[in-house]
Structure 1
């Protein structure tokens, strides 16, 4: 969301795609995700610039030479996924958030996927030791982003401009933003969709025989944020 608030044209394009494919009379569900190609480009571009783990830890299975350096078998090596995703030799405008680079028929990186075939794009690793939770992680991320973009119109506080956003990361085991994003839905937000989420939960709660019924993770997040 921080990248899209920093690049509002991309947020508007995503919202337009969602409105055209889903409409405004219902919530987006998982069956809609494959109908939203620009959403998938937004997620790819976000993970290119902000991988879940900036460094991947591995161990060499045999002696090898990398860049003229001898690396013995059993050496611990770290792959800098963060730097590879921002390598100017591999990406045009490497430091620029531009989801359209992955858009079929429009960008120059349309063949790049999450399977590890492109070594400049390894947000989930590659090969047998790639992240086993990749499919669930992508599904969750796509659903969260599309719900936030679909359910609300977002504005920066106190007349803040997109160019004023600090997009720096804190480099470490993970790479969170140095400055937290602060946004809010204006009065024109689509409160009907948020209200529908509340009603869905209340209906599920009253139908449940268990008194320990808890809010669904995704839906609850949106309702509470409203």
Structure 2
């Protein structure tokens, strides 16, 4: 019994050491991964990585991780050739493949959300207009037009939709034209726009868009997604 007790104590100690070493390795790997992982061609202000699954060391030996969460802030993409700042981009990566240097290279699947502030959306629109949350999943877009020597300011409620899996389309539901010929077209020239989002990882596409109080939330999904900074 004494010998069995000693064996159990040694096993517990070794097990504790293994768990401790495993957690230390995870912390180090998360820090290194944050430096090397890229969610596309754009630059980010900061990147955080959270590696799930236990034990981590055996996953590393296989060069494959079960699940990795990535959170990027201040991501710079492009929209229709114009720069657009994505305030926060979070992605849940599964079946992650590591390269020879154990850097994250690919993900079998990826699901996430990109949040764009309305100020950043307005800046990317290329229009002289402001964009706000209009309530009930709508955008409120306000622009001014020159008509007969004076500036007319109009606000419209607009619907935002996805086109072709990569383009945000903003269209006014209706425009108050007040019976003035040509005014509606002039207002729409300030408030309606399409912007193709570029710079996301290869293999990832936009699947849903929703106007929320805190900004424009865009759902992204992908398969065989390329994540290496190289």
TM-score (ref. length: structure 2): 0.24
Structure having the larger proportion of residues in helix? 1
**Larger Rg belongs to:** 2
